[in-house]
Structure 1
Amino acid sequence: MCVTLKSLNTFGLNVNAHKIVIAHNEFDLLLLWKQSVQLNRPVLLLGRGSNVLFLEHYAGTVLLNRIRGISIREDDEAWYLHVGAGELWHDLVVYTLKKKIPGLENLALIPGYIGSASIHNIGAYGVELKNICEYVDVLQLDNGEKHRFSAVDCQFSYRNSIFKQYYRENYAIVAIGLRCKKSWQPVLNYGDLKYLDASYVTPYEIFNLVCTLRKNKLPDITKFGNAGSFFKNPIVDANILSKLQANYPNIPYYPQNNGQVKIYAGWLIDYCNLKGYTLGNVAVYEKQALILINIGYASGIEVAALAKYVRYKVAEKFAIWLEPEVRFIGAQGEINAVTALS
């Protein structure tokens, strides 16, 4: 058996898997996983495929987690949401705003499902999932046990979590819990949101501006396949920033709570004059250097080759090695992306 994954990866790569199965509840998830394992083939849990790069055909079963459902309770301090891993993230943002629940507006238009959001600790415009997450419910697939990880247990960090590091193979995220404070304060310290007036701005105004900004800088996925930001923004010590500022005084950065600073990977790539750079069927997007796009019938190997070229060019000029945000998938499962680009 051989089925296409072209509609299940936003790069639009023409790759196949041995089989695709869909789980709509926890019982199905366990059953389908066990059936797949019995075939002695690898199993890949997949959401929308908005943060993966298939380097070749996948030899195993792709298991789509589509466990849905949203429940809300509240007290005097906050709204508490319990959300199934198979809900689309942007749909949740829209849903909460319609319910007059603020807090997610900065994270509008981030693609993918809830489960993937917690794996990657998604973030945008000064807000990360860890700022609002209370817990993550996980199903241990080899024995059917269910575990609840508190936000502290999740070990959230920049584009990372314990699920990305240690709980990939035999665990599936089935739901997350979010806490949205009733004492809402707008987060306007990032990008063009700084021009909004904190005294009068509404969650809907932030949502609308974020949607406009993202639409203006992101390529139309129906025309140019991509996975959004391909590289993480590097976080460096303040002394490294000082050295960079000696040669590049206008380098933009974003202070971190621990005294380090985040440098914008897109700016580094752009400064290397790589916007619009083309390699085969892949290009650095001309409007946003952080995005690699499929401009034809690209293969995963071509995308990786361009990513490697960009990574080395940035390291050559700035002595900073960019790390991929995108997961790399080989025939047998996930492989180390940094190693693949070294």
Structure 2
Amino acid sequence: MLAYPFSLALFNTFKLDVNCNSFISLDNINQLSEVSSAIKKAPQHLILGGGSNILFTKNYDGLVIKNNLKGITLINEDTQHIYLQAMAGEWWQDFVLHCVNNNYGGVENLSLIPGTVGATPIQNIGAYGVEVKNTIHSVTFFDIETEQLHTYTNAQCEFGYRESIFKHTLKNKIIITAVVFKLTKHPQLNTKYGVIAEQLIAMHITTPTIKDVSDAVIAIRQSKLPNPAITGNAGSFFKNPVVTHAVFDTLITTHPTLSHYADVKGVKLAAGWLIEQCGLKGYTHNGAAVHSKQALVLINANNATGTDVLALATHVQQTVYAKFGVQLEMEVNVL
């Protein structure tokens, strides 16, 4: 265990130079009991994956555990599916590439999303018409209090839009150690999302493979989204809001070009479109800014602090609400 002050600048994609009191790298399952003991002595604790969905607004007064559990293992297969276990500390993109290179279908639309495998069920990550819940078979986690390992089925994870039981009932009570994914040997490609179809056409591909879809998604993301290795950011800062059909009918009357999608709970609106229509693309506050190519992304443009980014996010929320009457919810975890 490393003692205070330990800088987290290299462990969050906003590149914010904040400190924590103490820091542990979880590299082996055998460390879990030791980690549990340290957590019980700490004023508070934080399990960190890739640090790609977190905004530090101040130093963290507690223990940070960096989940570095590694490994990808084939655990079962049948004629239709293959079951891969990925340890929580595996980089998500490395896992996606492993699947794509072996022609295992299901996660290709989620290419290049930053972060680790262990974070994917917590947030139920999604992009381009696909959510990770569609491929998760089970999640194994360590109960900090009882020091026991448990495995939850997909249904027990209570997945929703950027939601899961791990964000609520089990928050701060467990450490995810591994995720088992159910992937298909006979991929049914999801290319209905407009920009993917357009990108495939631009790539002169008429009969795409899962690698083609993955390459298309990567090309799209690289063209629109800032590379966190160069420009500090946490990807999509806000969730796409879901409104009732009644609210949507009112909005579409006054804003006929409103970008929207069908949703089981109503109508999902494109948060990036709402922000852009407010004239906020490229808007800056101190060192923080709304990205000039993708309004859904807030960036650390010039030595911003976490409070600068939060103030910018609040301004975006207030401006969108004033224009559309729609409340944007932050997708990023603010500490």
TM-score normalised by the chain length of structure 1: 0.92
* Equivalent residue, structure 1, for 2:7: 4
Structure 1 position 199, deviation (Å): 7.0
**Structure 2 residue corresponding to 1:82, chosen from 81, 85, 88:** 85
Matched letter for residue 203 of structure 1: I
For the 8 Å contact 1:139–1:145, the answer to whether it is kept is: yes
Distance in 1, matches of 2:197 and 2:248, equals 23
CA distances 1:147-177 after superposition (whole Å, capped 9, x unpaired): 1111111110111101011111121111111
Distance in 2, matches of 1:199 and 1:12, equals 40
For the 8 Å contact 2:236–2:296, the answer to whether it is kept is: yes
Distance in 1, matches of 2:266 and 2:123, equals 20
**Structure 1 residue corresponding to 2:214, chosen from 190, 207, 215:** 207
Structure 1 position 142, deviation (Å): 1.3
How many positions carry a matched residue from both structures? 327
SS of the aligned residue for 1:93 comes to helix
For the 8 Å contact 1:54–1:300, the answer to whether it is kept is: yes
For the 8 Å contact 1:33–1:63, the answer to whether it is kept is: no
Distance in 1, matches of 2:138 and 2:262, equals 27
CA distances 1:269-324 after superposition (whole Å, capped 9, x unpaired): 00000001011110101111001111121111111100000000000000000000
Matched letter for residue 41 of structure 1: P
SS of the aligned residue for 2:228 comes to coil
Matches within 5 A, 1:317-336: 317-329=323-335
SS of the aligned residue for 2:248 comes to helix
For the 8 Å contact 2:242–2:268, the answer to whether it is kept is: yes
Unmatched segments (≥5 aa) in structure 2: none
Distance in 1, matches of 2:298 and 2:320, equals 15
**Structure 2 residue corresponding to 1:264, chosen from 256, 265, 270:** 270
Is 1:162 the counterpart of 2:169? The answer is: no
Distance in 2, matches of 1:223 and 1:176, equals 30
* Equivalent residue, structure 2, for 1:35: 38
**Structure 1 residue corresponding to 2:140, chosen from 109, 133, 137:** 137
For the 8 Å contact 1:231–1:290, the answer to whether it is kept is: yes
* Equivalent residue, structure 1, for 2:298: 292
* Equivalent residue, structure 1, for 2:185: 182
CA distances 1:217-241 after superposition (whole Å, capped 9, x unpaired): 1113233211010000001122221
Identical counterparts, % of pairs: 39
Distance in 2, matches of 1:53 and 1:193, equals 30
SS of the aligned residue for 2:236 comes to coil
Structure 1 position 259, deviation (Å): 5.6
* Equivalent residue, structure 1, for 2:233: 226
* Equivalent residue, structure 2, for 1:334: none
Matched letter for residue 17 of structure 1: C
Structure 1 position 183, deviation (Å): 3.2
Runs of 4+ that moved beyond 6 A: none
* Equivalent residue, structure 1, for 2:62: 60
**Structure 1 residue corresponding to 2:242, chosen from 235, 238, 244:** 235
Distance in 2, matches of 1:12 and 1:271, equals 29
* Equivalent residue, structure 2, for 1:100: 103
SS of the aligned residue for 2:38 comes to helix
For the 8 Å contact 2:105–2:186, the answer to whether it is kept is: no
Unmatched segments (≥5 aa) in structure 1: 330-342
SS of the aligned residue for 1:183 comes to coil
Matched letter for residue 71 of structure 2: G
Structure 1 position 96, deviation (Å): 1.1
Distance in 1, matches of 2:206 and 2:138, equals 31
Distance in 1, matches of 2:179 and 2:109, equals 18
Please report the RMSD computed on the Cα atoms of aligned residues, expressed in angstroms. Answer: 1.4
Matched letter for residue 191 of structure 1: G
